[in-house]
Amino acid sequence: MDMFWDPIIKQAKRFWNAWDIQTLVLLSLTFQIILLAFGRRRSYITGFLIRLTVWSSYLMAGWVATVGIGKLSDISVGDPSLPDTNTSLKALLAPILLLHLGSPDTITAYSIQDNQLGAREIVETVAQAGLVIWILIRCWTYTSLSFLTLPMFLAGFIKYGERAWALKSALDQEAGMAISRIDEENAFHVMFSNLPQDIHGADLILKAFYRFDRIKPHLKNWIYHPLYISFPSLSIEDYSPIEVFKITEIELGLMYDALYTKTPIIYTKLGFMLRFLTFLCIVLTFSGFAVMFSKDFLHRKNVTFTFSVLAIALILELYSDLKLLFSDRAIIWAIGHHHQLRMERLLHFLVQFCLAKQRWSNRLPQFNLLRFCLKPDSSSLISMIVKCCCLEEEWKKYRFLAYKEKVPKELQELVLHEIKAVERQRGIKPFTKRGEWALERHDCCQELQWSIRTEFGRSIAIWHVATSICHHLDEADTSGEASLKDMSKWVSEYMMHLLVNLPEMLSVPSGHVIYKHLSEVIKLSPEMKDEHSACRFLHTDQPHDGAARKRKDPVVELGWLILPDAQELSVKLMMHRDKKWEIISSVWTEMLCYAAYNCDFDTHAQQLRRGGEFITLVWLLLAHQTDRFNLGKCG
């Protein structure tokens, strides 16, 4: 065996000794390409694979570039009076790695916590720049190649500095209503009134930008709000539900950019100047290198390698800069200058491109608790492997999570209607109720309030099972309420998804306990073979939960038995034959609004990098429409 491996190990060592630095540069470049391609896409693509890809590339990119710079600081340097081209070529790789440490525009922070490390990033920028300067000084030969390292170093330092700047400013708590902001709002009013009427959708983008800028939901202590100074043009009252949600989606994209990308700092005067200077430095380095070694590209491996790396760096920078032209903020700038630059046709194209752009997954995860509990465990090879890794429960939840490929228009209309109805009831009170206002509107509060005044997770489970029972009993219903019936089921299964898979968004720790208990109870009832038979059985009979009661699990000890209360609730709801789905849909929507309002900002922000959640759009709507007097929960 040793005879087989020894030659391979020796060959690998020989290759590493000869090409260690070049290998690290190639790896670093690969991670840059991955982050540039997928860093922004994670805002609208869900799934474990893209999260793993971006996470591993984000971690490895910084580590590999840092190791590469460390290796370059230890290269052997000959007599300065006898310049060595290979040494100078290696020295040029140091500022290129510094450029990589600056990360692409599409991702500066992997998670919200990374933005809290802005001060540390400034120190690291200075330290890495100092190390690169030391490398350049050691390898300096007063040749043209040595002078080429200077513009490349400037580009790398600016790029790394941009990242530190973006991290530092993402959660900058300096806030207030300055005179300049009043001037900005007046300028916005003028800009809005001068919008070209033939460019459909430009008003949506402009309105989204200024609505976002007025409340800055990603800043916890931002006190400026439309309550102080507002114009009718900031209102969304006259817009259709589709347009309202499109405005909110654009705001969601702006929030993602502010937290996880360089976009906010690039669209400043200083940001534009630095970006132009960076591009100019890279072009200058690439052009000078191409002229200097025009006859050596195919004959010297080190020259070919360095030229290729510079060419790819230039292409990536050009691609990043071109993408800036198609961003939401670029369109805002174009709207403000379209009269001076005569760019109506280009603006029309940019607006349509922007409106068609995806900013979040636009999916509504669905988790049916009864179907999950009744489905037998799989005996496939993957299931057996997962079971051996003690991940059986997580794998099963992943398998039974369904999606609506697009949030239905009817659901958008329902949410907006219920938000307005609740606003009329609660006035300036905080959002402390989760169904009671809906029950009051339908004159059944005394009869059903017991089902919503229990612990929130338990209340969701009770209403979820009751909704499933009512939905199956009404399968033959072809009345006009069928749409409300479907929407109630969608919201019910979405809220159950949050309870089971994302309990932190509901601020409840009981999701796992509740569905584990229900699984045990349902398995002890042989009459429940599938979801349909279970709903029929639960409407007429009591489940056999005696054995479950004897187990003394947390649900039993707390008196949180779900099925008896769900049965009672379904019976009472079925008695309201004419308006039961109005009641159910109103309660579910109010629960969704309550959860959105009371979920903390960090949790909402974390979901932005995982494809986003519908509940976060509801949170943004509430921040504008119903929380003008309750700003503490908005940020």
282 in the same domain as 419: no
411 in the same domain as 553: yes
Rounded to two decimals, the pTM is 0.89
What pLDDT, on a 0 to 100 scale, did the predictor assign at position 632? 43
Residue 619 lies in a domain: no
3-state secondary structure 19-65: HHHHHHHHHHHHHHHHHHHHCCHHHCCCCHHHHHHHHHHHHHHHHHH
Tell me which DSSP letter residue 391 carries.
-
Question: Structural domain tally of the chain?
Answer: 3
25 in the same domain as 142: yes
The alpha carbon of 286 is separated from its chain's Cα centroid by a whole number of angstroms, namely 36
Residue 3 lies in a domain: no
Residue 162 lies in a domain: yes
351 in the same domain as 471: no
61 in the same domain as 95: yes
Query: Residue 497: exposed, middle, or buried by beta-carbon count in 10 A (0-12, 13-18, 19+)?
Result: buried
Residue 108 lies in a domain: yes
Instruction: Please state at what angle helix 328-341 crosses helix 241-260, rounded to 10 degrees.
Output: 110
Residue 34 lies in a domain: yes
290 in the same domain as 223: no
Structure tokens at 386: 């997962």
Q: Are 218 and 603 in contact (CB under 8 A)?
A: no
What pLDDT, on a 0 to 100 scale, did the predictor assign at position 47? 84
What pLDDT, on a 0 to 100 scale, did the predictor assign at position 496? 93
Integer Cα distance of 259 and 112 in angstroms? 7
What pLDDT, on a 0 to 100 scale, did the predictor assign at position 615? 97
CA-closest candidate to residue 574, choices 460, 457, 444: 444
432 in the same domain as 489: yes
Three-state DSSP at 364 gives strand
Structure tokens at 400: 């039974």
Q: Are 260 and 141 in contact (CB under 8 A)?
A: no
270 in the same domain as 256: no
158 in the same domain as 214: no
Tell me, what amino acid is at 241?
P
Residue 4 lies in a domain: no
Integer Cα distance of 270 and 532 in angstroms? 63
Residue 182 lies in a domain: no
3-state secondary structure 532-558: HHHHHHHHHCCCCCHHHHHHCCHHHHC
- For the chain, residues with pLDDT lower than 50 are 175-183, 226-229, 546-548, 556-558, 626-635
What pLDDT, on a 0 to 100 scale, did the predictor assign at position 210? 84
**Residue 65 is part of which domain span?**
18-172+263-324
217 in the same domain as 307: no
Three-state DSSP at 373 gives helix
